[in-house]
Amino acid sequence: MSTLSDPQQGSFRPSMLLNDTRYRSATLQVIAAVLLALCLFYLYSNLATNLRAAGLNISFAFLGAPAGYDINQTLIDYNSQSTNLRAAMVGILNTLLVAFLACITATVFGVIAGVLRLSNNWLVRKLMAVYVEIFRNIPVLIWIIIIFTIMTAVMPGPRAFRGDEPSSTMFLDLFAFTNRGVYTPGPFFTRGVGGEAGSIVNWLIVIATLIGSFFATRFVTNRANETQAATGERPNTLWTNLALWFVPIIVVLFILGLSWDVPELKGFNFAGGIKIGGPLIALWFALSIYTGAFIAENVRAGILAVSKGQTEAASALGLRPRRVMSLVVLPQAMRVIIPPLISQFLNITKNSSLAIAVGYADITATLGGITLNQTGRAIECVLLLMAFYLIISLLISAGMNVYNNAVKLKER
């Protein structure tokens, strides 16, 4: 027996495609697909016509051709005869360098400002509020330009360091702040392995040692946790951990013969040491203070999100204020702080593309700037540029998801 609401069998009418919920979504999707295909085809045919009219084609062959321009700050070997691809690699490394540095300093600034905004001290609270509001409400491009101007127009030139009574002196005889950049002592190894070309190997050894120490201390801490869980007595791990961190690295550095190359004024400029160029400092510092203001707000919101009862309960247990913060409030606040913090890191990475405004050779300036202008390969360069940033974003958000799953509230 069929009820009244059953659809009548075998009477399909075209209007049912739109009015019957069984078919409607399929119809709409077919229409959308057709429209989308038409749109894409329209854009593609325009592109093809325009490219033919301009006598262009899509080709990535220019990547293998010599770049023909110099880059003043490079992390890997590069000269003007290197290929465009090599120039892009230099740019990628420079982007990652400034993003990495700015992420660290922005977090430091942000955490300090965020915690101080909750201080009991009225003056400090207000000062930090002013910092946050001023830096958040002015475009980061202006901050980059301001700090770049300080670097180039206010700092003394190398000439000011010369003579018997120089108008500028080096800070602690180690650092020189000039309008061409900051010169700092650079580490090198006198007994390093592998000679000139093997300097990277030495650094890999140092990093490997640090990673080894990290895992060793983690092992010790885990053992301590197990012992505590089993017996209730927690063995003292502080000295073991300190020894694990410091002894191996000191021994390794001693064996490799670490020394410092202090910058010295030679002729018209400083020689030796590491030169950190003005554009890098401008970008690094501006991104740090700008994003730091945003991170400060995230940190403040995170701490405020921990309910007051938690603090009171912890105090009722007899914990001191510092331990209340580190054992009860911060672990819970972290869950709120970390996700926006990671999107701020993403923002720093994307904003580092503003390097092109001050002439720092990041990927936007090399591939998207000089290479694009010299070869005229606009489409290819912009596509590669976008692909690079997309990959970085996807990696960062994948990392964020892994972290979120690790720390999310596990309800059992």
d(CA 144, CA 356): 11
Q: Of 8 and 25, which has the nearer Cβ to other proteins? A: 25
Asked if 170 and 158 count as a contact pair (C-beta separation under 8 A), the reply is no
Shortest separation between residue 407's beta carbon and other proteins, angstroms: 20
Smallest CA-to-CA distance from 273 within 179, 181, 156, 152 is with 181
- Using an 8 Å Cβ cutoff, are 122 and 129 in contact? no
Q: How far is the CB of 397 from other proteins (least distance, A)?
A: 8
For 111, other C-beta atoms within 10 Å of its C-beta total 17
Token representation of residue 237: 């791990």
Contact present, 337 and 298 (Cβ < 8 Å) = yes
- Binding footprint of other proteins on the chain (CB under 8 A): 25, 28-29, 32-33, 36, 43, 46-47, 49-51, 53, 119-124, 127, 133-134, 136-142, 145-146, 149, 153, 350-351, 353-354, 356-357, 364, 368, 372, 378-379, 382, 385-386, 389-390, 393-394
Q: Whole-number minimum distance, CB 310 to other proteins, in Å? A: 20
- For residue 330, the minimal CB distance to other proteins (Å) is 19
Alpha-carbon span 146 to 150, nearest angstrom: 6
How far apart (Å, rounded) are the C-alpha atoms in residues 79 and 69? 8
CA distance 355 to 400: 26
How is residue 283 written in tokens? 């970008």
Work out how close the CB of 251 gets to other proteins at its nearest, in angstroms, rounded to a whole number.
38
Judged by beta carbon, residue 31 or residue 108, the one nearer other proteins is 31
Place of tokens 């202090």: 262
For residue 242, the minimal CB distance to other proteins (Å) is 26
Task: Answer whether 305's CB lies under 8 Å from 117's CB.
Answer: no
Q: Which is nearer to other proteins, 213 or 351 (CB)?
A: 351
33 vs 61 by CB, closer to other proteins: 33
Tell me the closest approach of the beta carbon of residue 164 to other proteins, in angstroms: 26
Q: How far apart are CA 233 and CA 287, in angstroms?
A: 47
Task: Give the whole-angstrom CA distance, residue 387 versus residue 402.
Answer: 22
Which of 134/255 has CB closer to other proteins?
134
Taking the complex as a whole, the smallest distance from the CB of residue 59 to other proteins amounts, in Å, to 15
What are the backbone dihedrals phi and psi of residue 189, each rounded to the nearest 5 degrees, phi first?
Answer: -115, 125
In angstroms, give the least distance from the CB of 33 to other proteins: 6
User: Does residue 372 contact residue 386 with C-beta atoms inside 8 Å?
Assistant: no
Measured CA to CA in angstroms, residue 58 lies from 70, 376, 380, 385 at distances of 26, 11, 7, 15
Q: What are phi and psi of 153, to 5 degrees?
A: -100, -25
Q: In this complex, which beta carbon is closest to other proteins, that of residue 141 or of residue 160?
A: 141
Whole-angstrom distance, CA of residue 110 vs CA of residue 341? 10
Of 38 and 43, CB closest to other proteins: 43
Distance (Å, whole) CA 110 – CA 98 = 17
- 263 or 302: whose CB is closer to other proteins? 302
Closest distance between other proteins and the C-beta of residue 356, in Å?
Answer: 6
In the complex with other proteins, the residue whose CB is nearer, 250 or 394, is: 394
- Those residues whose C-beta lies under 8 Å from the C-beta of residue 233, and which sit 6 or more positions away, are 227
Tally of CB atoms within 10 A around 288: 24
Residue number, 220 or 357, with CB nearest to other proteins: 357
